[in-house]
Amino acid sequence: MFDNVLSVAVQVLILFILIAVGFVCRKVKILDDRAVSGMASLVLYVVTPANIINAFHREFRADLLRGLLLSFLAAFLTFGVACILAKFLIREKDEDKRSVLRFAASLPNAGYMGIPLQTAILGDIGVFYCAAYIGMFHMYTWSYGVSLLDKEKGGVQLKKILLSPCIIAIFIGLVLFFLPVSLPNIILSPIKSLASLATPVPMIIIGYYLAGSSFKSIFGSANTYVAAFVKMICSPIVALV
């Protein structure tokens, strides 16, 4: 038990060191906004999809399928309860701020931090189950999220959901998982190399943006704490239950 806790603590410490690297890179001007924007696009369109495909590239097993379906259900319920709580608990007077806070509270993009953490602690199998959460995140984002942030469009943005890089990667991964096929090494090797960037690059990006954040403005509003409570306390409890 202690060894497991120690192993997790070491992996989390490694993530914080990578975040610190990004923090320092901004302070000493090694990185700028343009470079980090490009890195973020690389993570979204290349690294994360490669990591998902790599995680699904495994032999089909019924227990893995059951676990994946349970992960989808857990993600659906967690997001749903969080959306309801955010709607009733966050009462910011300014409509735009209220929408942003409700979005942030109910739809945290845990894929950005979650995939590196899952990769570091659980390896490919962690990413395999995390893909269910990411898929559900995109479904909620382009339906409920759009209705919050874009009153004119509203509704379900099906095209945005289906064309999301992560959703496409999940579909490809599911095909590889269900069919008795294996990618040739000349294709699989580059995918694995790209997947290996899923931990360091996002952490450096997070550190970079933390270095430019105004913590006083972030924690100055009472509704910010309510949003954080829904996001960091309520949602994990629902997921555990």
Tens-digit pLDDT profile for residues 104-138 = 888 776 666 777 777 777 778 888 888 888 888 88
Provide the number of structural domains found in the chain: 1
Instruction: Count Cα atoms within 13 angstroms, Cβ side, for 176.
Output: 18
pLDDT per residue as tens digits for the range 173-202:
999 999 988 899 999 999 999 999 988 998
Does some domain include residue 4?
Answer: no
Q: Is the pLDDT of residue 12 over 90?
A: no
Give pLDDT, residue 65.
Answer: 93
Closest among 93, 124, 90, 94 to 107, alpha carbons compared: 90
Give pLDDT, residue 170.
Answer: 92
Does some domain include residue 140?
Answer: yes
Greater confidence (194 vs 234) lies with 194
pLDDT band at 161 (very low <50, low <70, confident <90, very high): confident
Does some domain include residue 223?
Answer: yes
Place of tokens 């857990």: 74
Q: Which domain holds residue 226?
A: 34-198+211-240
Does some domain include residue 2?
Answer: no
Does some domain include residue 48?
Answer: yes
Contact 138, 161 (CB under 8 A): yes
Greater confidence (77 vs 230) lies with 77
Does some domain include residue 7?
Answer: no
pLDDT band at 168 (very low <50, low <70, confident <90, very high): very high
Query: pTM (2 decimals)?
Result: 0.83
Does some domain include residue 6?
Answer: no
Does some domain include residue 12?
Answer: no
Residue 94, phi-psi category: left (phi > 0), alpha (psi -120 to 50), beta (remainder): beta
Contact 130, 115 (CB under 8 A): yes
Give pLDDT, residue 190.
Answer: 96
Listed in sequence order, the residues at least 6 apart from 190 whose beta carbon sits closer than 8 Å to its beta carbon are: none
Closest among 8, 14, 34, 52 to 203, alpha carbons compared: 14
Give pLDDT, residue 111.
Answer: 67
User: Would you list the DSSP string of 178-190?
Assistant: HSS----HHHHHH
